[in-house]
A = this chain, B = another copy of it.
């Protein structure tokens, strides 16, 4: 297993990527505070470049490559925000990127990746096909594989979100972030444990992809099979590295139903005036849930992870 990154790695990542990412704003909304009974601070990674926090980790991974590694490019398999993030970060360093995408990926996502100048390699929509196709690309081009979450450099990059949140908001009682593969929450745990040890660390998952919650309750890594949720960014399983970090640091995971995610998403659009994708709205659904263990009045940072939504297919229309 790879090494767990520390706060120094996250700080180094921040210095490395600072000029290539947005320091995203933290937004507050009196109406939302009134509805949930907390003081909520929305860390807007939906306003990050490529519309998701994924740009942080991908940029750190690519800027951490030696010149010799970099010249041969990078590859990954993903149909989601990591694909766009890696393509964009590769373009910014001026190196090639090969993105393995299943043939059933939405056209809009393929266009976005191509728009950043990456080469798409199509494959059958199975994990085996994705992995073997990526292996072939690495073999042929000598490209470095950048995993979407189970990678210390990626985790350190995602942890910079929490460093900024800590700088932007004093005295957070808790931070809540979504868990898909666990890269963001892992980086958040490492950063906050060092910067603000008393801040409580809580994850959120959709009920239809609650592998981290089940892993935590069983004490062993349980992979996600047949995820069933509108939260397309949260359908993946934890990796061994992210699991080891979450297991050691996370206090709890709140699970939320898709309907409450859609309501939280609409609330963010209507009242906070920001475009947030379903995965990104899960932390608000968590604090609206009766299962939220935090006392009313708590100061809570919510990481809104992304804003990549098809405006012609909104879940309430």
| Residues on A facing B (Cβ under 8 Å) | 22, 25, 27-28, 30, 46-47, 49, 51, 266, 269-276, 307, 311-312, 314, 316-317
Return A176 CB to nearest CB of chain B, in Å: 20
Q: How distant is the Cα of A266 from the Cα of B310 in the complex, in angstroms?
A: 11
Name A307's contact: one of B25, B28, B273 (CB within 8 Å): B273
> Beyond A30-B49, A269-B275, A312-B316: 7 further Cβ-contacts under 8 Å?
A22-B28, A25-B27, A47-B272, A47-B274, A274-B275, A311-B314, A317-B317
Return A26 CB to nearest CB of chain B, in Å: 9
Return A63 CB to nearest CB of chain B, in Å: 18
Given contacts A269-B311, A273-B307, contact A27 B47 (CB under 8 A): yes
**9 tightest A-B contacts by CB?**
A273-B307, A25-B25, A273-B275, A46-B273, A47-B273, A269-B275, A51-B273, A274-B274, A269-B311
A273 touches B270 (CB 8 A): no
CB contacts (< 8 Å) of A311 on chain B: these are: 266, 269-270, 314, 316
Q: How distant is the Cα of A46 from the Cα of B30 in the complex, in angstroms?
A: 14
Return A281 CB to nearest CB of chain B, in Å: 13
CB contacts (< 8 Å) of A25 on chain B: these are: 25, 27
CB contacts (< 8 Å) of A270 on chain B: these are: 275, 311
Q: Which of A30, A47, A276, A314 has the largest number of chain B CB atoms within 10 A? A: A47
CB contacts (< 8 Å) of A276 on chain B: these are: 273
Report the nearest B residue to A115, measured CB to CB.
B31
CB contacts (< 8 Å) of A51 on chain B: these are: 271, 273
